Structure 1
Amino acid sequence: MSVISEEKVRGGNVFKDIGADDGDWEPTEIESLCMNCYQNGTTRLLLTKIPFFKEIIVSSFSCPNCRWSNTEIQSAGRIQDQGICYTLRVKTKQDLNREVVKADSATTRIPELEFEIPPFTQKGALSTIEGLLDRAVAGLEQDQTVRRATHPEVAEKIEGFIQKLKKLKEVENEFTLVIEDPSGNSFVENPNAPQKDEALIVSRFKRTVQQDIQLGLRADDDDDDDGDNLEEEPAANDLDAMRNEVLVFNTNCPECNAPASTNEVKSGGATEEQGTKITLHITDPSDMTRDVLKSETCSVLIPELEFELGMAAVGGKFTTLEGLLKDIKDLIVSKNPFICGDSSTTDRVQKLSDFGEKIDKIIAGEMDVHFVLDDLAGNSYLQNVYAPEPDPEMTVEKYTRSFEQNEELGLNDMKTEEYQEEKKELPAEAERTE
């Protein structure tokens, strides 16, 4: 049995990008029991990374006695702060080749067929859209022999549905694939990166209490969603004392998953009544020194590059415009395993390399582009170097959020009417004290 060497673990290089020259990085092999014939087989574990995603553990079991085999993936990262939902409009056969990470906590739906795979009924998988369809077909066909003998009518209906699933692979008609994962650890590839994927909608959502229980984040008997178990709010004088302090929260490093402290900027204010869209026309290298406060609810757009970065992709940051552009380049190019090893293609590598060169030209002042910060919560900022005079190269636009945008921020479910009524009933002296 081989194991991951102590040197690699000690060096922090446990999760590695898969490449063609990684012959020395062998999977861990463990002798384990075959659940088919109950003799010994071999489980192989490989710790690797997924592009635009995070670390995963790929496991494969094979039995030399009965030839039974099985593969699955498990997320090696922490459960994310929010759930994630991918809605893909499959229009061509090329869409079937998109790579997919489906965690075991994810629900898969095809609305056109009223088909749904509930969470925790399948193990996690690293596959493609076509692979997910094949897996669904294989699951339905598994007990068809028994059904034909015992319940022929049911078997006939299931066979008809199987044929519909198989026909989807011909993509004669467009269909929708939805992967909704409360753990936030599923993923669908954007083959057009760094450009926006018009066929793919990615949204994040707040988990329900039931979903927290399913993920093991709450006890089974903890179904209180009224906030009774929340800590008591700090008094007004405590809040005054906290305003001039830097608060440090424990978390896990997004690179190696080791314990660390937060280095991310989060807004301490309320969500504004309107969203804010800030557009800067970059005309000079000195624009790179402008201060930028990008909240985690802010998207970044560069229209000339047909580039859009969704909110929370690089988290909240207080930096300069140059620093933010370098972070974007690192995310799209430097830290993207799709441009190296077996996952790479010539077109993809060239496209992403060209994008990185264009970002460098913007930083050097060699490209005339517009840089847009679009913050649904209205909590982002870009420095006006002409203050207090208006900035001739920058526009700030306030806009009313749509219902869908409020839903993305979790505002539609917030109820403040009772609080407002209670506040109106307070005596004038109590309001001044408050």
Structure 2
Amino acid sequence: MSEAKEQLFNPIGDLVEKVAEDKRAEEDVTTNDDERPVQEIESLCMRCREQGVTRLMLTSIPYFREVIVMSFRCEHCGFSNNEIQSAGAIRPEGSVFTVRCLGREDLDRQVVKSPTCTVEIPEFELTIPPFRGQLTTLEGLLRDVITDLSDGQPLRRIENEAAYNKIQAIIEGCKEILADDEDEDEDAVGAVKRASQKDAPMKPFTIRLDDPAGNSFIEFHGNMSDARWNMRTYHRTREQNIILGLVNPDEEPEAPKAPADESAEPDLVGDDEIFVFPGTCSSCGHPSDTKVKKTSIPYFKDILIYATNCEKCGYRDNEVKSGSAISPQGKRITLKVEDREDLSRDVLKSETCGLAIPEIDLVLQSGTLGGRFTTLEGILDQIYEELSTKVFAAGDSRHNNDAFDTFLHKLKAVKNVEHPFTVILDDPLANSYLQNLYAPDPDPNMEISSYDRTWEQNEELGLNDMKLEGYEQDAANDASATNTEAPKV
């Protein structure tokens, strides 16, 4: 079965060579149609209702998976169309590919965009909704954006000038990245000008492919440690599963089962109950609820999970806070990461916790990223996303780009565990946690130490002015002094 699959889905480079050989030998009558890499099928043209030809090519994208490339052309009316479809099943998780384009060499990256994929360019505030599948490059994707948005611009200029100006700004931005001008005459002066534009620095931008089916892809340069390339996966929502046809929209989601023992219900209220606090979305200003749930981490303490989801604009946020008393001492957790299994450890990083990886000179101060309850792999992904997005978006950092590229390469190597490294969590309130895979026995790769907080740390946390004992007597004395003091006449 695997041999037959390999024969059907050969690498795209091998198919190109085979197509060239078939063209040279197309006059050979002994050529078998079943052995040709491109199959031709007569199809109905939906424009003129005559017979056209659809060409199918089954191929394999390196480091990706098998796809079917389809191209249709009608010789009667000249209509043509091409599309790409995945030849595999829908992936268990959705995927998000992000590329920071810093030079025009990034425009040559190959792109596989499935029909369920959404394309985003944050710098232009541009979102391309799911449409037909494509096999193209980043440059081809930008040229399609220019072509699609330019259609109808003269009419928009008359009917809605504000929309025209907004769309025209996106078109001009894409043309500036591509460094060409299709309206310029083909003369020597124009050629020299275009050559100088190609050599000019390109304005950095970010492109993101979000595919809930997991069947899209952007090529990386070299290997997966490419600092400008990033991939993450996520669990699909019920709405996304409905769109993909995996869930019946008329089927009601399963309600949580009631406890079998009704007498035990009062004891479970504290951990099972979800509290809802009405508030306002910080992104769009519409009413939005914040949900809070208390949960307990084994061998640690109780925590509170806060989650906000705005139904109007889609803004989401989550945070974790301690649900226990303030610890009398701080805690420092040191983990020696040796293989990818360590990346699956659960991590609770409180808002007062700092994180450091000495091998790559990474130091995050307290408060960075806020409170997070995730895995070690998840928090490294968040660090990479935050650093790459913030720094690449700042134009002033362009001159120091080589140094930051080097740092991101090191961070990518750490994410892929290409070499052992050390993770240090330092929390003065001892509200952070790193999973012990050998619990309740000690973890040989993890060291946990407690220390006394300094006066400066207590002052920063507001603990020096906090009195937990004897405050009732002080309050009574203050009230008595106030009552006995007689006003002067």
Q: What TM-score, normalized by structure 2, do the two folds share?
A: 0.46
Which position in structure 2 is the counterpart of 1:158? 167
The answer to whether the Cα contact below 8 Å between 1:97 and 1:128 also exists between their aligned partners in 2 is yes
- Corresponding residue of 2:18: 22
Are 1:89 and 2:100 counterparts?
yes
Written as runs of structure 1 = structure 2, the 5 A alignment for 1:185-200 is 185-193=215-223, 196-200=225-229
Shift of 1:271: 10
Partner of 2:145 in structure 1?
A: 136
* Deviation by residue 1:398-426 (Cα, 9 ceiling, x = unmatched): 89xxxxxxxxxxxxxxxxxxxxxxxxxxx
Q: Is the 8 A contact 1:56 1:75 kept in 2?
A: yes
In structure 2, what residue type is equivalent to 1:63? C
Q: Distance in 2 between matches of 1:222 and 1:165?
A: 44
Q: Matched residue of 2:242: which SS?
A: helix
SS in structure 2 of the partner of residue 135 of structure 1: helix
> How much has 1:70 moved relative to structure 2?
1.0
Q: What displacement does 1:113 show?
A: 1.1
- Secondary structure of 2:18's counterpart equals coil
Q: Which residue of 2 aligns with 1:355?
A: none
Q: 2:7 aligns with which of 6, 10, 13?
A: 13
Tell me the secondary structure at the aligned position of residue 213 of structure 1. helix
2:58 is aligned, of 40, 47, 53, to 47
Question: Given that residues 271 and 378 in structure 1 are in contact (C-alpha distance below 8 angstroms), is that contact kept between their aligned partners in structure 2?
Answer: no
Does the residue aligned with 1:22 lie in a helix, a strand or coil? helix
The one-letter amino acid of 1:203's match is R
Partners of 2:5 and 2:98 lie apart in 1 by 39
CA contact (8 A) 1:293 1:380 kept: no
Which runs of 4 or more aligned residues in structure 1 lie more than 4 Å from their structure 2 counterparts after TM superposition? 7-12, 145-157, 270-280, 292-298, 369-374, 376-381, 395-399
Alignment partners' CA distance in 1, 2:113 and 2:299: 35
CA contact (8 A) 2:97 2:229 kept: yes
Write the distance in 2 (CA, Å) between the matches of 1:110 and 1:124: 18
Q: Which residue of 1 aligns with 2:127?
A: 116
Residue type of the alignment partner of 1:97: D
> How far does residue 133 in structure 1 lie from its aligned partner after superposition?
0.8
Query: 1:181 aligned to 187, 211, 215, which one?
Result: 211
Task: Determine if the alignment matches structure 1 residue 212 to structure 2 residue 206.
Answer: no
Letter of the 2:204 partner, please give it: E
* 1:96-137, Cα deviation, whole Å (9 max, x unpaired): 11111111111111111111012x3x2111111111111111
Distance change (3 Å), C-alpha of 1:83 and 1:11 = closer
Question: Residue 228 of structure 1 is aligned with which of 255, 270, 276?
Answer: 255
Cα deviation code 1:144-200 (max 9, x no counterpart): 465567667755553343222222334632111111111111111111215x12112
1:33 to 41, 44, 48: 44
Task: Please list the CA deviations of residues 230-251 of structure 1 after superposition, one character each: whole Å capped at 9, or x if unmatched.
Answer: 9x99xxxxxxxxxxxxxxxxxx
The residue type equivalent to 1:178 in the other structure is R
Letter in 2 for 1:22: K
What value does the CA root-mean-square deviation take over the aligned residues?
4.3
Q: Which runs of 5+ in 1 are unaligned?
A: 1-6, 234-269, 281-291, 305-309, 313-368, 382-387, 400-434
Q: Percent of pairs identical after alignment?
A: 34
List aligned pairs for 1:11-410, cutoff 5 A.
Answer: 13-18=7-12, 19=14, 20-23=16-19, 24-118=35-129, 120=130, 122-144=131-153, 147=156, 154-155=163-164, 157-170=166-179, 172-193=202-223, 196-222=225-251, 224=253, 227-228=254-255, 279=337, 294=341, 297=344, 370=419, 395-396=445-446
Deviation at 1:143, TM superposition (A): 3.4
Q: Counterpart of 2:59 in 1: which secondary structure? A: strand
Q: Which has the higher contact order (CA 8 A, sep 6+)?
A: 1
Aligned counterparts of 1:16 and 1:138: Cα–Cα separation in 2: 33
SS of residue paired to 1:13 = helix
SS at match of 1:163: helix
1:43, distance to aligned residue in structure 2 (A): 0.5
**Distance change (3 Å), C-alpha of 1:373 and 1:50:** farther
Q: How many residues align structurally?
A: 267
Tell me which residue corresponds to 1:405: none
C-alpha distance in structure 2 between counterparts of 1:136 and 1:144, whole Å: 13
| 1:37-72 C-alpha deviation (Å, 9 max, x unpaired) | 222111111111111111101000111112221111
Measured in 1, the distance between the counterparts of 2:70 and 2:434 equals 41
Larger radius of gyration: 2
In 2, the alpha carbon distance for the partners of 1:30 and 1:168 equals: 39
Q: 1:173 to 1:279 in 2, by over 3 A?
A: same
**Offset at 1:228?**
2.8
